[in-house]
Structure 1
Amino acid sequence: MGVTARGVGLLVAAVVLLGAGFRFAYPELALLGAAAGTAVGYAAVVAAWRPRLTVTRHADPDRVARGEPASMTLTVRNTGRLRAASLLAEDRCGDDTVAVPLLRLRPGRDTTVTYEVPTRRRGVVRVGPLRVTRRDPLGLVALSRPYGGTTPVWVHPRIHPLAAVPTGAGRSLDGRVDAVPHGSITFDSLREYVVGDELRRVHWRTSARVGELMVRENVDTSLPRIVVLLDNRATAHPERRGGTAASFEAACEAAASIVTAAVRADLPVVLLLVVPDLAPEAGSEEAGAAATTRGWAGLRARLRRDAHRPGDAAPRADSPGGPLDRLAAADLVDGDDALQATAARVRRDRLGDTLVFLTGPGGRGDLGHVGALRGAYPSVVVGVFGATEPTPPGAAGLVVIDAADGAQFAAEWDGVRRW
């Protein structure tokens, strides 16, 4: 509860009048002071009344590309039974506020407000909660309370169409790429049974040991698998304006374009961040490597759950929790030593046969770590964004694409003749 400047002045006047009235025996002054104090007390009681409101929100849509329109529909319903509510309300929309008129909102009635959600920047726009301010008629006391929760609107990076998709090194014997449902006979891992799995894929010995049905997960070794590694280290994108690094935004657009093209081509794709999780001790030198070590297992397990297998219904790249959501939430973090640790794990796990590494001008000095992955990944492509000078040809024996933004990267990508 906050007392306004008018309320503070009236409260001070009440104390002065009461003191002067009793000190100098002026009952009129004491009466005025008592009236002023009573007015402040009445204002506090009126402002303390809590209206019963129900707040619902609906985002249309809740996932958009940067620059696309998105709207939020807010409905406020007065669930009280005794009196109408005349309130001042504003809804938080990212860094902005939107006024919501609640004049004479009668019991059982509702009011609806629709407004645009800003999508000019990539990220997660948090909308809400609704903050309702209750004031007394004299404007002496104001009390603000939050109503309802928050609704996120995911602003994905802009997607540029890519005509070419890497076919990888693995092909079937007849010279084409296979699309065998659920993979070939090559064993990959075990997972929990879900409704719809074939019983012939159940591994009964393991199921008996752990006490629940476990299913064999196979992979098609002839099918190309694409791994996109996005460099989200702050040192890789040193130039920032207004807290935003243009090179990192361009790298996010390139990653989103590759992931979307792969999903549309019905090819398995994995999106990784150099620093998948940040430790609380982010300021220390060991933060990046330690965070990568802790976050890798959980990240890989989540990617396995979300992985698309040929023959299944094609997923949307912007599905909840999908790769575009992770790109929308991605941000620059400290972790200078994270690339070396991540490269070691990418080499050990062999997640695919085509690796695409996207970095900024500050990451060109670390291309040696990426070049060392050529033994595990037959095809390695590097995208460098925001560099003032082109990357030296044949750097670490890699295919390097220098681009200023996502659109230029898409044009250069389609011109690559070898992967």
Structure 2
Amino acid sequence: MTITARGVGLLSGAAVLLLTGFWFGYAELALLGTASALATACAVGYAAWRPRLDVTRVAEPDRVARGESAVMTLTVRNTGRLRSANLIAEDRCGSQPVAVPLLRLRPGHDTTVSYPVPTHRRGVIPIGPLRIVGRDVLGLVTLARSHGDAAQVWVYPRIHPLAAVPAGVVRSLDGRIDRVPHGSITFDSLREYVVGDELRRVHWRTSAKVGELMVREHLDTSLPRIVVLLDNRAGAHPRVSDGVAETFESACEAAASVVAAALREDLPVSLLLVVEPYDGGQGGGSPHFLDRLAVVTLQPADRGGPPRPADQVEPPQPGGRGDDGGPLLAVTRRLRQERHGDTLVFLTGPGAQADLGHLGALRGAYPSVVVGVFGADRRTPAGAAGMVVIDAADGTEFAAEWDGIQRW
């Protein structure tokens, strides 16, 4: 509860009038002071009245691509029995207030208000809760309360359709690397027998040792395993306008397009971030990969690992580098050691052109390395033999260049 400036003035005047009236024996001043104090008390009681409202909100839809339309529908029902609600409510849509008039809302009735949700920026937009400010008629006291739950609208990056997907990579017996769409079956693991398994897949020797039937699991190693590495270092995307780095938005669109194309073809895919505790691609190939791309933001280069003492932090190097290469170098080392796939797609901005040497070191572990650089003023050199570099201005141009690669 907040007392307005008018209320403070009236309450102070009431105290002065009461003190003067009783001290000097002026009944009229004491009467005015008493009336002022009673007016303030009545204002507090009026503002403290809590309307009984049932608030329901529905986002249609609650997950959209950037630029698509979304509408928030708010239904407010007066569940009280005595008074009509005559209020001005305010809903929060991101950082913007939205007025919701509740004029003469009789008991047992409801009203519905709809308003568009701004989706021009990728991210998660928090909406609500409904905030109602109670005021008395004299404007002496205000009391704000929240009604209903909050909601979220997820704004995904745009997905550009990709017609081409990488072919499978498998090593033949004579040591060469052959590209085939499917067909190489390799033993992967053992598991317990379940009804319906073929008996020819039972591993009898292990079954005899453990005392129950064990079945061989096989893996098609020729299927391409795609790793999408998104560079979310702030230094890699230095051009920020109105709080948005368009090169990073384009990189997110490219990542969403590649992952969507791989899932369409039922290919295993992992989505990784440069500045993040390494999670081995957890959630990268799930249907919720767009949720992950909706919440990702640019991070300082010193995030994603244990803090270093101040005397061990190297100063930024000139020449347009995204940073000192620490987070990217750490991720590439882990990718080389653990080898999550055979096709690596690295998406970055103009501030990381000098960091591509780290990707060249992965050519031994990843036969196919594709680098997408967005918003660069000059052409990006390949940096290593066999590395494919795509210079694009936005996600649409990246999709066109991707489909034009002859190596798929």
Shorter-chain TM range is 0.7 to 0.9
Tell me by how many angstroms 1:79 deviates.
2.4
Work out which of the two has the higher radius of gyration on C-alpha atoms and give 1 or 2.
Answer: 2
For the Cα contact (< 8 Å) 1:171–1:178, is it kept in 2?
A: no
2:378 maps to 1:412:
no
Secondary structure of residue in 2 paired with 1:365: helix
Note the residue ranges of structure 1 that are not aligned, 5 or more in a row.
204-213, 277-291, 308-318
Aligned residues: 369
Range 119-128 or range 136-145, more displaced: 136-145
Structure 1 residues 52, 242: CA separation in 2 closer, same or farther (over 3 Å shift)? Answer: same
Secondary structure of residue in 2 paired with 1:369: helix
Structure 2 distance, partners of 1:202, 1:32, is: 98
Counterparts of 1:192-341 in structure 2, within 5 Å, are 219-276=219-276, 292=277, 296-297=278-279, 300-303=281-284, 307=286, 319=287, 322-335=288-301, 336=323, 337-341=326-330
Secondary structure of residue in 2 paired with 1:374: coil
Structure 2 distance, partners of 1:121, 1:189, is: 47
Partner letter of residue 78 of structure 1? N
Secondary structure of residue in 1 paired with 2:149: coil
- Please give the per-residue CA displacement for 1:294-330, whole angstroms capped at 9, x wherever unaligned: xx24x64444xx55xxxxxxxxxxx4xx111111111
Taking only the aligned residue pairs, the percentage that are identical comes to 63
Counterparts of 1:15-54 in structure 2, within 5 Å, are 15-54=15-54
Q: Which residue of 2 aligns with 1:363?
A: 352
Secondary structure of residue in 2 paired with 1:326: helix
Partner letter of residue 78 of structure 2? N
Tell me by how many angstroms 1:170 deviates.
3.5
2:362 maps to 1:396:
no
Tell me by how many angstroms 1:82 deviates.
3.1
Structure 2 distance, partners of 1:89, 1:32, is: 34
Give the one of 332, 342, 352 matched to 2:331. 342
Alignment RMSD (CA, Å):
3.1
Q: TM-score if structure 2 supplies the norm length?
A: 0.82
2:343 maps to 1:354:
yes
Structure 2 distance, partners of 1:270, 1:105, is: 52
Note the residue ranges of structure 2 that are not aligned, 5 or more in a row.
204-213, 302-322
Range 217-226 or range 37-46, more displaced: 217-226
- Moved >4 Å (runs of 4+): 171-176, 188-191, 196-203, 214-218
Structure 2 distance, partners of 1:386, 1:202, is: 55
Structure 1 distance, partners of 2:59, 2:33, is: 52
Secondary structure of residue in 2 paired with 1:375: coil
Structure 1 residues 140, 171: CA separation in 2 closer, same or farther (over 3 Å shift)? Answer: farther
Q: TM-score if structure 1 supplies the norm length?
A: 0.80
Structure 1 distance, partners of 2:60, 2:89, is: 22
- Please give the per-residue CA displacement for 1:349-373, whole angstroms capped at 9, x wherever unaligned: 2221111000111111211111111
Structure 2 distance, partners of 1:162, 1:340, is: 29
Tell me by how many angstroms 1:176 deviates.
5.0
